[in-house]
Amino acid sequence: MKKILVKLIAAITCVTMLTACQPTPEDEAIMSKKDKQFEKLILEAASDVKTEYPESYKNDFVSKDKKVNFTIDAEVTVSDENKYPVFTIKLMPITDEMTQRLVEVFLEGDDGYYPLSTLTKSELAEEIIKIQARLADEEGLREFCGDDETYDRVVANHQGTIEFYQGKMKDAPEEKLKIPTELVFQPLDFYLEERIYSQYSAEQELKEGVKTDESENKYLISDTVLSDGRFGRMRVSNEFNNIFIDNSAYGDERYQMFMYKIHSYVGLSNLYMDDPFNASSGDGDIMALFPKLTITKDEALDIAKNALNDMGVDYFYLMSSRVEKEMPTYKEWTQIYQHQDELGYDFGKAQEEVMSKKPEIFYIFEFRPTYFDVPFIPANSRYMPEETYRPTIENEKIRIRVSNDGVAAFSWINPIEAINVINDDVKLLPFEEIIKYAQQRMKLSYNLVAMVPLHDDSDIDLQLEKYKEVNVNIYEIELGLTRIPVYNKVGEYMMIPVWNFYGVYDIIGKSEENTHLMSDDDLSERRYKIPLVTVNAIDGSIIKEVMQNP
């Protein structure tokens, strides 16, 4: 055995020596976060002499695989104060007072009512007529359903609904039951149980007061009819994994529950339906009810900003804006999927082409907060459920939809507040070093494999042969704050200063079919500015936080 061991060791030594290793590089490719180096750096205060940043920066370089050409011709954006804090944050509970302030603006002075879904006799009759008309159009319904099996199922459902409504007809009230809400938070049971939804006991129950645990009061749901005749719906929640209640258009006992991955949410929409953001493929006809846009973008933006000011939420800045068209109908979705196959699985292009004829109905403005006069800028990140191993929260944002009738929808997701300022003016790395780290990272991170659309179902090498190169244009470099998780404290976050390198890229294929030019897009119409790389301004490490949503 000893001989064998000696022979084995000798053989390994010889092989290792003969192979001759490569020399060790001088620079580390990945910055170590061991030994709490970062935790020490965030305590270092900036010097009294403020760092000067250039107004613009220019440079060209290529990626490691020599297939991606980078052109930086960027404006450098820093805050006026040039003072960057580090602080821990927590979600700000939404209070009754806060909600009432928002409601005053968005309900335009009208009263809010409990979301009672009981249909009146005339409403039930109307619903029955509508469904009967749908069933009478057999050809249209068959075309909508696509196949016999679906058709039979839909017909059976409709007939069931008619029977259900006919059964309700006898006890249905003549007039709509309206109970004004005090706009205070209630426990979920309050909305789920029969208190609200049962038609006749609701008023009495509300008068007597609901005996529940105060600590469970996390939900606030309210309906209203505005003085101009529009219908409004408000849903506010302070519950993790929000459970929103939607009493659907069909009426009592048919409500649904939706779950979101956000901690808290202020949502208010004076629209026909609950939340147009969640409109599904079958709701194209509902979206078609909204008026076509005639106001200009600037007018719409003024309306949105005025609404924010009226609510007293004045620390938000405009992050992005876009126009939204009517939702595709069922038929159009089918066309998109078919067209996608013809265009080599390019869903975006297929959707754009099919949707080009649809009318525009909203301007959507997305606002991000500023903290201590420094803008919050989302990091380069992706949300991948399969790689997430802890609860996550979406970044704070306010989204406002403006139609011809004014503000059509408002949502405020995850309001947060600073709880502990660790350093009110932290020492940052010089701009030259940030550029060095960013370029190093871009050279390594961006290659043909990373940037061209690839599909799992065919050979990657064969797919790569279709593409020639990628041209990246960095047009803005911005210094702001972003959120990172606190080490060893799951669920806690801190804000730190980071540099975002925003850019667009053109994929040049060997044929026109595989060429995708992003630089042709109107940047102002983009939903988000895309940070190609986010560099920690304190230590130069790369922020790649998969937990954050854009």
Contact residues for other proteins, defined by CB under 8 A: 1, 4, 12, 15-16, 19-25, 28-34, 64-65, 241, 259-261, 385-392, 441, 444-447, 449-450, 454, 460, 485, 487-488, 490, 541-542, 544
Between 312 and 391, CB nearer to other proteins: 391
- Provide CB contacts within 8 A for 53, sequence distance 6+: 76, 78, 82, 431, 479
Element (H, E) at 91: strand 86-91
Backbone angles phi, psi at 415, to 5 degrees: -60, 135
What crossing angle do the helices spanning 138-145 and 121-136 adopt, rounded to 10°? 80
- Provide CB contacts within 8 A for 152, sequence distance 6+: none
- Provide CB contacts within 8 A for 214, sequence distance 6+: none
**Rounded least distance, CB 37 to other proteins, Å:** 11
Of the chain, the end-to-end C-alpha distance in Å amounts to 61
| Contact assessment for residue 468 and residue 508, using Cβ atoms and an 8 Å cutoff | yes
**Rounded least distance, CB 483 to other proteins, Å:** 13
**Rounded least distance, CB 234 to other proteins, Å:** 23
Short-list 265, 274, 279, 266, CA closest to 245: 274
**Rounded least distance, CB 461 to other proteins, Å:** 10
Instruction: Classify burial at 534, counting beta carbons within 10 Å of its beta carbon; exposed 0-12, middle 13-18, buried 19 or more.
Output: buried
| Contact assessment for residue 506 and residue 355, using Cβ atoms and an 8 Å cutoff | no
Between 32 and 356, CB nearer to other proteins: 32
**Rounded least distance, CB 205 to other proteins, Å:** 31
DSSP string, 206-235: HHH-----GGG--EEEEEEE-TTS-EEEEE
Between 64 and 176, CB nearer to other proteins: 64
Short-list 369, 396, 366, 395, CA closest to 381: 395
3-class SS string, 431-479? HHHHHHHHHHHHHHHCCHHHHCCCCCCCCHHHHHCCEEEEEEEEEEEEE
Between 28 and 175, CB nearer to other proteins: 28
**Rounded least distance, CB 30 to other proteins, Å:** 4
Between 105 and 442, CB nearer to other proteins: 442
**Rounded least distance, CB 258 to other proteins, Å:** 10
Between 386 and 457, CB nearer to other proteins: 386
**Rounded least distance, CB 29 to other proteins, Å:** 4
Between 166 and 278, CB nearer to other proteins: 278
> What's the rounded Cα separation, in Å, for the pair 452 and 470?
8
DSSP letter at 511 equals S
Between 241 and 519, CB nearer to other proteins: 241
**Rounded least distance, CB 482 to other proteins, Å:** 16
> What's the rounded Cα separation, in Å, for the pair 436 and 364?
37
| Contact assessment for residue 307 and residue 318, using Cβ atoms and an 8 Å cutoff | no
**Rounded least distance, CB 24 to other proteins, Å:** 3
Helices (H), 283-430: 284-287, 297-311, 330-342, 347-355
Between 225 and 454, CB nearer to other proteins: 454
Between 55 and 387, CB nearer to other proteins: 387
